[in-house]
Amino acid sequence: MKKPLEHNLPLPPMFRDWFAARGWAPRAHQLALLAQARAGKSVLLVAPTGAGKTLAGFLPPLVELAGAQEPSRRGLHTLYISPLKALAVDVQRNLELPLAEMRLPIRVETRTGDTSASKRQRQRRDPPDILLTTPEQLALLLASADAFHLFAALKRVVLDELHAVVTSKRGDLLSLGLARLRAIAPGMTMVGLSATVRDPDELRRWLVGQTPGKSPAPMAALVTAPPGAPAEISMLDTRERLPWAGHGGAHAINEIYERIKTARMSLVFVNTRAQAEAVFQQLWHVNEDSLAIALHHGSLDAGQRRRVEAAMVAGKLKAVVCTSTLDLGIDWGDVDLVINVGAPKGASRLTQRIGRANHRLDESSRALLVPANRFEVLECRAAIDAAMAGAQDTPPARSGGLDVLCQHILGMACAAPVDADRLYAEAVSAEPYARLTRADFDDALSFAANGGYALQSYDRFAKIKRRQDGLWRIANPKAAQAYRMNVGTIIESDMLKVRLVRGGGGAGKPGAGGGAGPLYYPAKLAGGAAPSAYTGRVSRGGRVLGEIEEYFLEMLSPGDTFLFGGEILALAGIVENEAHVSRAKSDAPKVPSYAGGKFPLSTYLAERVRKLIASPGSWKDLPEQVADWLALQAEKSMLPPAGKLLVETFPRGGKFFLVAYPFEGRLAHQTLGMLLTRRMERMGLKPQGFVASEYALAVWSLADAGTRAAKGLFTMAELFNEDMLGDDLEEWLEESALMKRTFRNCAIISGLIERRFPGKEKTGRQVTISTDLIYDVLRRHEPGHILLRAAREDAMTGLLDLARLADMLARARGKIVHKNLERISPLAVPVMLEIGREPVYGEAQDVILAEAAGTLVEEAMGG
């Protein structure tokens, strides 16, 4: 361990002794942070996993509190905020030891959604020294009249996993809450803890109050920990044939299993719940050694997840198949191997996942990447190169959402009468809102009051009203109650509870019967005889297995089978907000899970993949199968040239295909597909549908676009012209389901629609009025309304990824290379294979009806 280099105030002897007694030495960055913090500065600590980040963050408050005179009357000293309540609980556990060993009379408590009402009451009256909580709980505390008293003596806020929080609307809400905290306790300073990010200055600005127009913008001090030992990352060079498409990694399951066997404990990361289910299922098919392999994803029942976590910490598991639910910084025990199945999507994301292995800085983390198809091989290769080079591609800072601002304004009115000028000044001191105009703020205020419609017809029903003293006051206590019940910005996709209603007795299938449910399958079930503990019949009204996205269930009909919680279940029906299921007897689920990734491919990685493809000299690091495939592409068509957009056309099966390779991620490609098909329709090319992957887009049509373009009847430049982002886009947004979903989230966050009201929680299907209908009416009658603006902004980066599409179209201007081929090209195969697997898009609503109606006629004529 290096000697501490810079610190003005030495670590108090009590702490030095404690470190020494544990055989540790304080690290340089821990001391540097302490020095900065004790000098009254806000600090950002950027450190890799395992660098003692959390301890570093707590050293300043612990040192200060250890030296404090009056333990009883000092009030709340430090607020710790983490995005995961599990992290708050974990931190409390980790603080117990030093506090006990140093005999420090410091009270540390958690406050989360699980904290009892009586304890919350007591915490307001008699706060601990250090309160560990979440962004939503902070918003709730700040929306109460006690806030001014509770936070008056606050000295410090510690923000954990800052890199993760700031990229979301939760970050927006938190930034506004912190602005209020700065107003209540002007002397308070921040400590931000972050993984390595692309641009630390963004976070440094985020941590301190901004003054619009001030240049340079104020920033927190920066402390950077040295990087840990470089990770050993390898890519599985499979013995099997590499699939052309798909995301499951089934071909490599035996090889994954072998690696699990040789490691102490492995985390197997996948990108979606559905993939987690599939990989888990396949691992159990090959689990000859009855290894303790468990499953962990966000849809599983919380109790089940807690049991898996506890078993990990206790070292009882050999492997856990998980999604991003285990991405964040909880120490889950002795993980020595991280296996990432599928595409890593981003270099920083990969680095953070790898950091889950080996929480010790000086030892290398070991990671194995398992690409599930050929394009993913390229992506894995690019990600490994990027990780080795220490490149970062965390998403850029966001500007604060207007819907979140609407929610915040109402919360502030719940706490105390609001002076609009002061609240505006406070809001723009938060970095995400530093560029907020007064006009937008006033619109948000007016929205919070009465919906903010141009037609001022709801004044008399207002939630908040401006009184004669010029202050805005809450007009009805029920409005405050509704705010408290709906606080927060996390909109899960509408989830339905999955309830097991019948014991199925699927022969030979292990099941999760009985009360608690198993952590993992107990054993490979020889001869189909399941141990009795796991075959408990569950009666009607049986237990809840977890929750599942409503949109997934919408694809199913009663009787369809699907994978959930490691079992094959059959849908019996949907009753209110529950999906009733039974165990299925079948061996393979009928409905293949939607296996696409949740995260878009980062622009940075996409660029690296493009370069990799365009430079055959670098293919030596690729598996032979993949290099051969690319070489064949060069021969049959051409490699997508660097800096240009390759478009191929070819006939197949009586249809004509147009395949483009923008490498901009599925979301941007879907939007592009919608707009392209509209334009092709107008050009008389009779497009019929399209399918988008992370790398490419395939459109099929009845007319031969390739030959027409080759004859010069139209140009690809015309087809891909940026002006599609004008009227075509507007027309499409009118009816886009993705846009409507985006709008719905804004409507909920802003408080237009209530998710919960006293005594009842609603699910999406029970929300009494469809936000789609609201969207239609609002677009037509008040297109400039603040909620439509908020949704539009989200669409730029969210589900429609318009910003990325716009960049791509601009870059492609004058640089489109068209290849008119006689048959499908090697590079086109993967995306062509997605047809039929992926939802097909197109403004095909009347087509769907016509097809369904056509079948009726067939039935009628034939029958």
Partner 1 sequence: MAAEAEPLTNPPLGTLTVAGASLLADPSGALFFESDGLLFVADLHLEKGSAYARRRVFLPPYDTAATLARLAIVIERRAPRAVIALGDSFHDAGAGERMRESDRETLRALQKGRDWIWIAGNHDPAPPQGVGGQAMAELRVGVLVLRHQPAAGACPGEIAGHLHPAARVRSVSGTLRRRCFVSDGARCVMPAFGAFAGGLNFLDEAFAPLFGGTAVTAHVLGRSRVFPVADTRCLRD
Q: Minimal distance in Å, beta carbon 404 to partner 1?
A: 18
What is the number of other CB atoms lying within 10 angstroms of the CB of residue 592? Answer: 15
Q: Is the peptide bond before 216 cis (omega within 30 degrees of 0)?
A: yes
Q: How far is the CB of 837 from partner 1 (least distance, A)?
A: 13
Q: Which is nearer to partner 1, 121 or 457 (CB)?
A: 457
Token code pair at residue 258: 């072998």
Residue 841 DSSP label? B
Q: How far is CA 606 from its chain centroid?
A: 19
**CB 680 → partner 1: shortest distance, Å?**
9
Q: Least distance in Å: CB of 405 to partner 1?
A: 16
Residues 6+ positions from 852 with CB-CB distance below 8 Å = none
Q: Which is nearer to partner 1, 362 or 846 (CB)?
A: 846
Query: On the CB side of 592, how many CA atoms lie within 13 Å of its CA?
Result: 11
CB of 785 to partner 1, least distance (A): 7
Residue in 59, 125, 63, 139 with CA at minimum distance from that of residue 94:
59
**H/E run at residue 211:** none
When the beta carbons of 143 and 753 are compared against partner 1, the nearer one is 753
Q: How far is the CB of 797 from partner 1 (least distance, A)?
A: 25
Considering beta carbons, is residue 212 or 839 the nearer one to partner 1? 839
Q: How far is the CB of 482 from partner 1 (least distance, A)?
A: 7
Closer CB to partner 1, 224 or 770, in the complex: 770
Q: How far is the CB of 351 from partner 1 (least distance, A)?
A: 38
Q: Supply the minimum distance, in Å, between the C-beta of residue 373 and partner 1.
A: 24
**169 vs 755, beta carbon nearer partner 1:** 755
Nearer to partner 1, 133 or 593 (CB): 593
Residues with Cβ within 8 Å of residue 190, at least 6 apart in sequence:
42, 43, 156, 157, 158, 159, 178, 207, 208, 220
Burial of 382 (0-12, 13-18, 19+ CB in 10 A): buried
From the CB of 752, what's the least distance to partner 1, in Å? Answer: 6
Q: How far is the CB of 842 from partner 1 (least distance, A)?
A: 6
Edge-to-edge order in the sheet of strand 816-820? 687-692, 697-701, 655-660, 645-652, 816-820
- To partner 1, the closest distance from the beta carbon of 788 in angstroms equals 10
- In degrees, rounded to 5, the angle at the alpha carbon of residue 312 between the alpha carbons of residues 307 and 318 is 115
- Which residues would be at the binding site for partner 1 (CB under 8 A)? 447, 450-453, 455, 457-458, 461-463, 476, 478-479, 482, 554-555, 557-558, 573-574, 677, 681, 686-689, 702, 752-754, 765, 768-770, 773-774, 776-778, 780-782, 785, 839-840, 842-857, 859
Indicate the residue among 468 and 768 with the shorter CB distance to partner 1. Answer: 768
Q: Which of 773, 775, 694 is nearest to 742 (CA)?
A: 775
Asked if 277 and 498 count as a contact pair (C-beta separation under 8 A), the reply is: no
Q: Give the integer Cα–Cα distance in Å for 573 and 562.
A: 13
- How big is the chain, counted in residues? 863
For the record, the structure tokens of 845 come out as: 């609503």
Other Cβ atoms within 10 Å of 853 Cβ, number: 11
Q: How far is the CB of 709 from partner 1 (least distance, A)?
A: 20
Q: Cβ of residue 782: shortest distance to partner 1, in angstroms?
A: 7
- Output the smallest distance, CB 707 to partner 1, in A: 19
Comparison of 70 and 859: residue with beta carbon closer to partner 1 = 859
Maximum C-alpha span of the chain? 92
Is 577:497 a contact under the CB 8 Å cutoff? yes
Give a three-class secondary structure readout of 161-192.
CHHHHCCCHHHHHHHHHHHHHHHHCCCCEEEE
Cα dist from 825 to 374, 558, 592, 666, 821, whole Å? 14, 40, 27, 20, 8
Query: Based on CB atoms, which residue is closest to partner 1, 105 or 839?
Result: 839
Six-digit token string for 17: 């002794």
Pick between residue 424 and residue 700 the one whose CB is nearest to partner 1. 700
Task: Give the separation between CA 291 and CA 102, rounded to whole angstroms.
Answer: 41
Neighbours of 467 (CB within 10 A): 11
Helix (H) or strand (E) holding 324: none
Strand segments, DSSP code E, in 8-148 are 43-46, 78-81, 108-111, 130-133
In the complex with partner 1, the residue whose CB is nearer, 16 or 467, is 467
Q: How far is the CB of 486 from partner 1 (least distance, A)?
A: 11
Kindly tell me which of 544 and 769 has the beta carbon lying closer to partner 1: 769
> Phi/psi of residue 738, each to 5°?
-65, -40
Q: Give the DSSP H or E segment for 32.
A: helix 28-38
Alpha-carbon separation of residue 439 from 421, 435, 617, 835 (angstroms): 12, 11, 55, 47
CA distances from 286 to 270, 283, 508, 566, 711 (A): 18, 5, 15, 14, 55
Which C-beta is closer to partner 1: that of 223 or that of 790? Answer: 790
Residue (369 or 748) nearer to partner 1, CB: 748
Which pair of structure tokens corresponds to residue 213? 């127009």
Nearer to partner 1, 491 or 840 (CB): 840
Tell me the CA distances in angstroms from 259 to 251, 264, 370, one per residue in order.
Answer: 15, 10, 11
